Structure 1
Amino acid sequence: MSVASGSEPYYTKIPEWVSECGANGMESAVYQHLAKRLNHTSKSRTVDPSRARLAADIGLKKPDDVDPYLRALEALGAIVIHARKGMRTSYELPLWPPEGWTGPLNTHAADRWQKTDPDRYAAWRAEQRAKVDAAEAPYAVKRRARVSKSVARKRSAAEPEVPVATGRHQPVVTGNHRPVTTGTNQNDPNEENSGGDGRRPPTGSEGLDGSGSAASGRTEPGVEKAKPGELRSVIEAIPRPLAELLARDWPRGLPVAVNQLIEQVLVSEQRTVEELVERMGRRWVVFGYENDLLCSFGKGIRTGLGVLEELVSASKCWGNNLDCEDGFDRRTESECPRCAEQREERLADRADRERPSGHPVPVEKPTPVPAPYVPEQRGEAVGINEEQRARAREALRQRARLPR
């Protein structure tokens, strides 16, 4: 859009007495967005923008949020609100201050008054703000009640309801768990109506069929949590090639399961940040992940998150030694005795399986090979004389001479 040479840009005219009436920043911003809608070619000083448009102009979320600033401007005399039922609300912007105005008419007069009599000027501005507070007081009470009700509703939705025992309903047995009483004669079958004496029920094998935390010797997980700084230190100590791979796979940040795994190692295994960082660096090299990712002949890494879990997770000690760190005791810096014991047992079991037993092995008899067939030799004919033989030879000769 071209601008003609020598022409003035559009601007908004705001009387100086309005800027010195005691309005704060947001109230002045609302007045400015009202004044920029005036048509200076006419004598009308009334505008009617919607509250939604005013709220959007000054960066508020809801149209109702602009109402306190409009009421404050009306209390200061800067605007006059014309609201009628069924009609659009309009706002009149007087050109001159209201009747009985005792404040400065321009900025020069306000500066001279503040310089010559600062106490009186400060008292006058306090009176102006008192008018605003008085106009807003009825609405402030309603607003505080509405906010407190909303907070109470959100709090009740976040907190689960705790059932209150009224003494009329008896506990119902729904499985293997039995209701635990708190009387003094819990183990006496004859004392069914024994009252409680305030002592806690047993937590050994008699409480809830021995399924309590004290019966198992384990504490409730999640009581102690790791500090955010410790989690951040471990995340920053991830090997750089793996961290770059994770950044490509998870551009918005690692999942919550990573923090939970690190917290479990720091709290449950009682490891320090330095020990966990040393574990990740050692496994990154010893487990061959560095060669797989960086070497030309490496197999590569399919999922970086799985490799990170292997680097951080607890040592797989065969003897469940809490101080075992990949086969070495972290306190004595020697081989884990439980791992060595389990290794010797596995070797002994393998030797027993490979050792031949003392029983003789049955040997099958070889199958005899049949002899080749030899036709039986026929002997001389019995009962034939020499003459008969001669006739037979002659018959053979005659048969041989016949044409075929």
Structure 2
Amino acid sequence: MRFIFKTSYAQDINLAKHGGHVFWYGLLALLLLGAPWLFAEYWLAQMTFILIYAIVGLGLMLLAGFTGQFSLGHAAFLGVGAYTQAVLTNAGVPFPLALLCAAGLSATVGVVVGLPALRVKGIYLGMATLSFGFIVEEVLARWEKVTGGNAGIHIKAPDLFGWKVDSGEGFYYLCLFITVAATLGILNLLRSSTGRAFVAIRDSEISAQSMGIHLARYKTLSFALSAALAGVGGALYAHKLQFISPDQFNIIQSIDLLLMVVIGGLGSVHGAFLGAIFLITMPQVISLTKDYLPAAVGQAPGLQAVVYGVVLVAFVLFEPLGLYGRWLKVRAWFQLFPFYRQGMFKRQKSFQKSDRLK
């Protein structure tokens, strides 16, 4: 087992805690940089989708995993970013400026949606965000002069001040750069006082308020940052598909995004990436294995939904910490063997009962 001897407070906030992190993340960086030469075009496209969903997952993880705010309409922010990017790109605006506008408009919408979070929480906040998702979907379908309505809208290739990114490899590297930048931004945010305030609100709003944390400010900021990342992901999503329509940003998409962070592991940056990998690879696994199943099962139209539901229920019952939580247990088993104890990761009882005093 590795023991880290710390001699300064700066070691607590280092991104790489030890040499093993530097080695493995460096190896991962080399793999991602060499992906266009190592994988076929189809799998490179799937990796691009993983990067795009990871960006959206980082935003939703910040909101749900680190701030404790429940959202059932996150696909609406995805749609706002996608349509903003499509309209501005088709109008001739360079890709970086259009991306900033997509993130800014999504963040502004996130602030508007975050206002109900100041007075409601839990399932009631989920209902409020769900209603907002329906409103955005209807606006995208009815505002035909701008969005094209239900007929959808095509989008041009990204234009980086004269350089057209019209190849799969070039767009993959563009998504990789933005994903790395978003990840480093989230990691640094969580190490700051703002990130600690988010976590304090998640653990106990009353305790956070008693420590001087402004609940309204930080909740609204969390919604804005989460919506901005969803808008960036939506802009890249639109460029990758080259065609978008309102039905791509419905309640099913919102549930998929929530499923992504829950299965990946709430409260961890790694969980956003693991959940994105699950969300993209699971349909591939189902399509590859259904030919070996009986015809009545393999050809059933709702097979994917059933598998998703079974997997979600299984994780909620047996592995509430998600894929990243399972990895932590496996790692601890190898590090502590033969002294590993099965109940080490059981949920601790909460001794904070002040939330019940109204």
Superposition TM-score, scaled by structure 1 size: 0.20
Asked which structure has the greater RCO (Cα within 8 Å, sep 6+), the reply is 2
User: Which of 1 and 2 has greater Rg?
Assistant: 1
